């Protein structure tokens, strides 16, 4: 994969009182985190996770370094929560340009990575939620999923325990691909076809992010909405 990525990003408080989403656009590292709304200091957790990810990854830009940075982010949030005597947590999805494997994605929780290629939209990450696991095991149908009582319950998150399982994978990405990192406030408000059409618009990444967030707000998004778009060149 070419190492040239053009980026844009946008976030909005949406239907919440404060914004617990955070974004990161750094040298060869792009990430989105969504602080868990049920816990206090979700905004602190998401920012701390991304700041730790960035500083730790900068010292070792290999795949192993990326995974170590994700583990460090988990530990930082966990230790901060213990120090404050509270519960903190956040999702995390990131794309990194590693020195040994090119583009690699990591994710924990239900923030997502999508790829648009040739007009086709693909979700490249698995959600770590009760509902997603039930769907993968075919214990519930797609129709039942829409109103499932546990559809938003996470099975993994950064900072809720001393260790966390991290999904990671090398990315297949080609020139003219467009990548989207986003929080659930966006994809819960929009249908996949809406996301596909907006990502396919002939505009730069920043304009695409603005359009995605505007569309989610127009659809009465009841959560914080964050989008980070990468164009592969």
Contact 181, 30 (CB under 8 A): yes
Looking at residue 132, what is its pLDDT?
76
Contact 212, 12 (CB under 8 A): no
What Å distances lie between residue 166 and 34, 224, 226, CA to CA? 16, 24, 21
CB environment 108-132: b (16+ within 10 A), e (fewer): bbbbbbbbbeeeebeebbebbbbbb
Looking at residue 142, what is its pLDDT?
56
Map tokens 């370094």 to a residue.
65
Alpha helices by DSSP H, listed for 146-201, are 184-187, 192-199
Looking at residue 144, what is its pLDDT?
55
**Which runs of E-coded beta strand occur in 75-152?**
92-98, 102-108, 112-117, 120-123
Q: Where are the domains of the chain?
A: 5-232
Q: Quick one: pLDDT band at residue 217, thresholds 50, 70, 90? A: very high
Looking at residue 130, what is its pLDDT?
85
What angle (nearest 5°) sits at the alpha carbon of residue 31, between those of residues 154 and 70?
65
CB atoms within 10 A of CB 57: 27
Q: Quick one: pLDDT band at residue 136, thresholds 50, 70, 90? A: low
What rounded mean pLDDT belongs to the chain?
Answer: 92
Output the six-digit token pair for 86: 């509270």
The radius of gyration of the chain's CA atoms, rounded to the nearest angstrom, is: 17
pTM here?
0.93
Helix, strand, coil percentages for the chain (3-state, nearest 5): 30, 30, 40
Q: How many helices (H) and strands (E) does the chain have?
A: 7, 10
Looking at residue 131, what is its pLDDT?
73
Report the alpha-carbon distance of residue 99 to residue 54 in Å, rounded: 15
1 pLDDT higher than 70? no
Contact 209, 229 (CB under 8 A): yes
Which overall architecture, per CATH, does domain 5-232 show?
Answer: 4-Layer Sandwich (3.60)
Looking at residue 147, what is its pLDDT?
60
Report the alpha-carbon distance of residue 108 to residue 146 in Å, rounded: 22
Contact 28, 95 (CB under 8 A): no
């Amino acid at each position: 994969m070419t190492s040239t990525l053009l980026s844009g990003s946008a976030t909005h408080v949406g239907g919440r009182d404060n914004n617990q989403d955070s974004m990161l656009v750094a040298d060869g590292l792009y990430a989105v985190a969504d602080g868990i709304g049920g816990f206090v200091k979700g905004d602190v957790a998401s920012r701390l996770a991304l700041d730790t990810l960035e500083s730790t990854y900068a010292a070792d830009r290999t795949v192993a370094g990326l995974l170590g940075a994700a583990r460090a982010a988990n530990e930082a949030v966990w230790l901060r929560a213990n120090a404050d005597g509270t519960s903190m947590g956040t999702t995390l999805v990131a794309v990194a340009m590693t020195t040994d494997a090119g583009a690699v994605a990591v994710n924990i929780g239900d923030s997502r990575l999508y790829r648009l290629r040739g007009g086709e939209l693909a979700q490249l990450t698995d959600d770590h939620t009760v509902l997603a696991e039930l769907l993968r095991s075919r214990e519930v149908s797609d129709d039942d999923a829409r109103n499932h009582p546990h559809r938003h319950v996470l099975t993994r998150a950064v900072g809720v325990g001393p260790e966390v399982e991290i999904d990671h994978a090398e990315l297949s990405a080609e020139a003219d691909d467009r990548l989207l990192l986003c929080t659930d406030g966006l994809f819960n408000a929009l249908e996949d076809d809406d996301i596909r059409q907006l990502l396919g618009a002939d505009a730069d990444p920043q304009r695409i992010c603005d359009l995605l967030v505007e569309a989610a707000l127009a659809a009465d998004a009841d959560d914080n909405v964050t989008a980070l778009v990468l164009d592969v060149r």
